[in-house]
């Protein structure tokens, strides 16, 4: 028979054990709640809102199930604006500053922006305790991803599509392979490895896709003798497969509840998608049965309006669709706020954080956005758009129609809109910033390229 003291001692040990377990659970819960969210930004190439089922694509209603699932279980922004070309969009994302401030107004001048003088999104996040990594397209930016603050990276030597190759750059060193590799797979494999190795600390990963930029080539999933039209669809399907690969890995690692996944594209759909060999049925650019107005390289809705999907399981409201105006300068302050970081002093930033909207709040949405390409630009609010020439357009039926309004129109709403948007442009003063002179040979060359 056990003594009274023996029983008391046993109960005391059990009590201490129970207390220890409870303290551990509480501490783990507090740590999970207080840990900064991971951020994964997937940035696709040359595919506008008309490309994705969740935006009503007329050509590809069911070809992007993984991307569409992010939208149906997260937040889909209906009106996000890029610049109409790759280079200046990437420069804007990296610095949070419009092109006339950095000099990055076109594909040919995006590399004008320097990490030595401009704010850098990955550096800000690094200073906030994040480990940073990127993979994929970079070349239109200056210097290297490492110079701009990415601790780990792989990239390549081209601003165009980079697919079946035998070399790439890893952390500044060239890597060569005996056999051809499919570079988008190398980039996504690098991303998966990064997520696994840094699962225990806050991370920011930027997957800068080459898909679906031309040249439109076969993918590892393409069937032999597939047509160019099928290859175009295969490229989009492979982009979606890659998104599923990243999301699936975050699920396996148990990180979805603490990771914001943001998906967007660098500009509207490229003209390569409209070529007859890639689009024999002439359905590219369609939302439902209506064509989007414009495409890549044009200061029109089809050139600048891009998808923006945010998915943060358990935090972002599922299936919410927002009509808030957003442009790419907003990413830097949004990510900085989520990271608990500080915006740099002594520099003019153009963005406005939409972090509250990602948490289900109303936030402080913009009243207008600004888009620039070369020596052209416009400001756009809810229903109107005013460009550098003083031309006003009604955007009530955008992205399908932009209706020009006569300068001498007496319509009260148009008069008010013109005055309001002119005030926005006067305040920004893009003409007084860094840009190419109209009469320079380089500016003329860029104008021709930007129209393609």
What b/e readout covers 2-40, taking b as 16+ CB neighbours within 10 angstroms?
A: eeeeeeeeeeeeeeeeeeeeeeeeeeeeeeeeeebbbbb
376-380 and 384-387: which strand pairing? Answer: antiparallel
Q: Is the Cβ–Cβ distance between 141 and 169 less than 8 Å?
A: no
Where helices occur in 339-407 by DSSP H, the ranges are 355-358
Residue 37 per-residue DSSP state:
P
Q: Which residues contact 34 (CB under 8 A, 6 or more apart)?
A: none
What is the DSSP code string of 129-145?
A: T-EEEEEE--TTSSS-T
Sequential DSSP letters for 293-358: S--TTSSSHHHHEEEEEEE-TTTSPTTEEEEEEEEGGGHHHHHHHHTT--PPSSS-------HHHH
Structural domain boundaries in the chain: 35-366, 376-434
Cβ–Cβ < 8 Å for 335, 125: yes
Quote the distance between the C-alpha of residue 94 and its chain's center: 11
Q: What is the torsional sign of CA 335, 340, 341, 342? A: positive
Helix (H, G, I), strand (E, B) or coil at 106: coil
Phi then psi dihedrals of residue 325, to 5 deg: -80, 130
pLDDT given at position 101: 98
CATH number of 35-366: 3.40.720.10
- The CA radius of gyration of the chain, in Å to the nearest whole number, is 24
185/191 Cα distance (integer angstroms): 10
Q: Report whether the peptide linkage leading into residue 399 is cis, meaning its omega lies within 30 degrees of zero.
A: yes
Return per-residue pLDDT of the chain as tens, 452 residues: 444 445 455 555 454 555 544 444 334 333 444 689 999 999 999 999 999 999 999 999 999 999 999 999 999 999 999 999 999 999 999 999 999 999 999 999 999 999 999 999 999 999 999 999 999 999 899 999 999 999 999 999 998 899 999 999 999 999 999 999 999 999 999 999 999 999 999 999 999 999 999 999 999 999 999 999 999 999 999 999 999 999 999 999 999 999 999 999 999 999 999 999 999 999 999 999 999 999 999 999 999 999 999 999 999 999 999 999 999 999 999 999 999 999 999 999 999 999 999 999 999 999 999 999 999 999 999 999 999 999 999 999 999 999 999 999 999 999 999 999 999 999 999 999 996 645 544 454 444 444 44
């Amino acid at each position: 028979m056990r003594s009274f003291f023996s029983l008391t001692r046993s109960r005391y040990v059990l009590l201490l054990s129970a207390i220890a377990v409870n303290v551990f659970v509480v501490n783990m819960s507090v740590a999970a709640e207080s840990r900064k969210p991971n951020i994964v930004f997937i940035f696709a190439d040359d595919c506008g809102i008309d490309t994705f089922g969740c935006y009503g694509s007329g050509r590809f209603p069911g070809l992007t199930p993984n991307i569409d699932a992010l939208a149906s279980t997260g937040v889909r922004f209906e009106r996000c604006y890029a610049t109409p070309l790759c280079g200046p969009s990437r420069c804007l994302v990296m610095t949070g500053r419009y092109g006339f401030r950095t000099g990055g107004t076109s594909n040919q001048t995006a590399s004008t922006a320097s990490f030595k003088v401009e704010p850098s999104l990955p550096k800000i996040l690094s200073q906030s305790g994040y480990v940073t990594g990127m993979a994929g397209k970079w070349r239109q930016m200056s210097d290297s991803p490492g110079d701009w603050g990415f601790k780990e990276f792989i990239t390549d030597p081209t601003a165009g599509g980079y697919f079946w190759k035998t070399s790439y750059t890893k952390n500044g060193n060239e890597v060569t392979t005996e056999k051809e590799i499919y570079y988008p797979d190398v980039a996504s494999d690098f991303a998966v490895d990064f997520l696994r190795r840094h699962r225990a600390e806050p991370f920011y990963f930027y997957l800068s896709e080459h898909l679906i930029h031309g040249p439109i080539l076969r993918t590892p999933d393409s069937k032999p003798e597939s047509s160019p039209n099928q290859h175009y669809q295969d490229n989009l399907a492979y982009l979606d497969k890659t998104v599923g690969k990243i999301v699936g890995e975050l699920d396996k690692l148990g990180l979805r509840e603490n990771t914001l996944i943001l998906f967007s594209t660098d500009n509207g759909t490229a003209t390569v998608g409209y070529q007859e060999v890639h689009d024999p049925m002439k359905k590219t650019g369609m939302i439902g049965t209506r064509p989007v107005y414009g495409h890549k390289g044009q200061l029109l809705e089809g050139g600048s309006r891009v998808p923006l999907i945010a998915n943060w399981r358990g935090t972002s409201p599922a299936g919410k669709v927002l009509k808030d105006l957003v442009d790419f300068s907003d990413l830097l302050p949004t990510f900085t706020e989520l990271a608990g970081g500080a915006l740099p002093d002594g520099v003019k930033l153009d963005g406005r954080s939409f972090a509250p909207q990602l948490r289900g709040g109303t936030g402080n949405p913009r009243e207008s956005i600004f888009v620039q390409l070369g020596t052209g630009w416009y400001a756009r609010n809810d229903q109107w758009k005013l460009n550098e020439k003083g031309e006003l357009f009604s955007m009530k039926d955008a992205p399908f129609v932009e209706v020009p309004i006569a300068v001498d129109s007496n319509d009260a709403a148009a008069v008010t809109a013109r005055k309001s948007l002119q005030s926005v442009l006067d305040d920004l003063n893009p003409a007084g910033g860094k840009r190419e002179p109209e009469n320079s040979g380089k500016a003329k060359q860029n104008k021709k390229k930007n129209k393609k």
